Structure 1
Amino acid sequence: MRKVVLLMHVSLDGFVGRSDGDLQWIFPDMDDDLTEWTIDSLSRMDTHVLGRVNYEEQSGHWPYSTDRLAPLINNATKIVFSGTLEKVEWNNSRLATGDVTEEIAQLKRRPGTDIFVPGGARFAQSVSRLGLVDEYRLIVHPIVLGSGLPLFTDPIDLKLLSSREFSTGAVALTYRRA
């Protein structure tokens, strides 16, 4: 059965973005090694599940990007959960019509590779709170934001599966639920 993987960048104090949504603090740490790690991770995920806010941000960027990650993201199946969108137009996207728990359970039973949850913060919190995430891949950056958009709002017991340090000081930590 496929697993659901939440892969997100997070500050040392647990924020995925500044209060205004700014993510520029991530990019100084995105060296070639971390980029390769990210490409390797994304190449094992053929389906992305995301909320409206993240869909709107990504669909405005990736179709026009020449970044090495763009083909992996653009060619993946994207399932968008939204109570306000009436249609989605990004390549290989569809609007989820059912309950998040039911939709993800159906996706896990279908053939394919892992299912990627790229965020945003509220959607990640929601699928985590519902117990739908099988594996957390957190890229922890050596920065303290002090405030912002938290990744976690509910307690979760996790077990460390692996860690990888990058020359920039960022660390990739992979966990599963304990």
Structure 2
Amino acid sequence: MGLLIFSTNVTLDGCVDHRAGIADEETHAFFTRLMDEAGAMLWGRVTYEMMEDFWPAVARGEGEAPPAIREWAVKLEAKPKYVVSSKRSDFPWTNSHHIAGDLRTGVQNLKDATPAGVLLGSVKLAAALDRLELIDEYKFLVHPRIVGHGPTLYERGLPGARHLELITAAPLSNGVVAMHYRRAPAKPKA
């Protein structure tokens, strides 16, 4: 069974708006490495549609793009992409697949079938999967910005705190810090 790894960009004040962070070659190279290590990508419909509207054209070489960004697009094109949606069932982008029905069962089956792990990149879906206790690890890029608006990480809350163990914390040259956490084992009840 592979791990479900939630990864996203987040500012110091918790904003996860993709336009609020530093989108440079170094951050794209970081996410390309994460994608290389994973067996599949997992998104909600909104994230899928945002990605589908932009990245296939970059992968085809349409328009100018720095090498790290083009590399991300080409690798993303080839990577299996799974989408959770109750509103849409047709996902024509290359290597895209629909997860329908019970969320817990669908995602657990994907984890079981993907030994290299699944990289989750949708904030709202991550909150739903965290409520189901399906997320195993968290890899956040924490950006040195306070933006003063949302959306924010877990803005609708969780039923309880998530206790995590720090695996690594590594600063990038652009001031972003790559944080890697694993869910801490449950403490025995006294």
TM-score by length of 1: 0.88
Contact 2:16 2:153 in 1 (8 A): yes
What is the CA–CA distance in structure 2 between the aligned matches of 1:80 and 1:104, rounded to whole Å?
A: 10
Larger radius of gyration: 2
Contact 1:46 1:76 in 2 (8 A): yes
Counterpart of 1:53 in 2: which secondary structure? helix
What is the CA–CA distance in structure 2 between the aligned matches of 1:156 and 1:136, rounded to whole Å?
A: 11
Contact 1:31 1:168 in 2 (8 A): no
Report the Cα offset of residue 111 of structure 1.
Answer: 4.5
Answering whether residue 16 of structure 2 is matched by residue 16 of structure 1, we say yes
Task: Indicate how the Cα distance of structure 1 residues 90 and 5 shifts in structure 2: closer, same or farther if over 3 A, else same.
Answer: same
Answering whether residue 105 of structure 2 is matched by residue 110 of structure 1, we say no
What is the aligned partner in structure 1 of residue 66 from structure 2?
none
Write the deviation string for residues 73-113 of structure 1: whole angstroms up to 9, x where unpaired.
Answer: 11111111111113111111121122121112112222441
Write the deviation string for residues 115-143 of structure 1: whole angstroms up to 9, x where unpaired.
Answer: 01011x21121112221111100000000
Answering whether residue 173 of structure 2 is matched by residue 164 of structure 1, we say no
What is the aligned partner in structure 1 of residue 182 from structure 2?
176
Superposition pairs of residues 114-153 of structure 1, within 5 angstroms: 114-119=117-122, 121-152=123-154, 153=157
What is the CA–CA distance in structure 1 between the aligned matches of 2:114 and 2:124, rounded to whole Å?
A: 28
Report the Cα offset of residue 145 of structure 1.
Answer: 1.7
Long gaps (5+) in structure 1: 18-22
Long gaps (5+) in structure 2: 60-69, 185-190
Q: Work out the percentage of aligned pairs sharing the same amino acid.
A: 28
Write the deviation string for residues 39-78 of structure 1: whole angstroms up to 9, x where unpaired.
Answer: 2211011211111101111111111114210122111111
Which stretch shifts more, 47-56 or 110-119? 110-119
Contact 1:10 1:140 in 2 (8 A): yes
Give runs of ≥4 in structure 1 deviating > 6 Å. Answer: none
Counterpart of 1:27 in 2: which secondary structure? coil
What is the aligned partner in structure 1 of residue 22 from structure 2?
27
Aligned residues: 170
What is the aligned partner in structure 2 of residue 20 from structure 1?
none
Answering whether residue 80 of structure 2 is matched by residue 77 of structure 1, we say yes
What is the CA–CA distance in structure 1 between the aligned matches of 2:135 and 2:114, rounded to whole Å?
A: 18
Pairing partner for 1:43 from 14, 21, 36: 36
More strand by share: 1
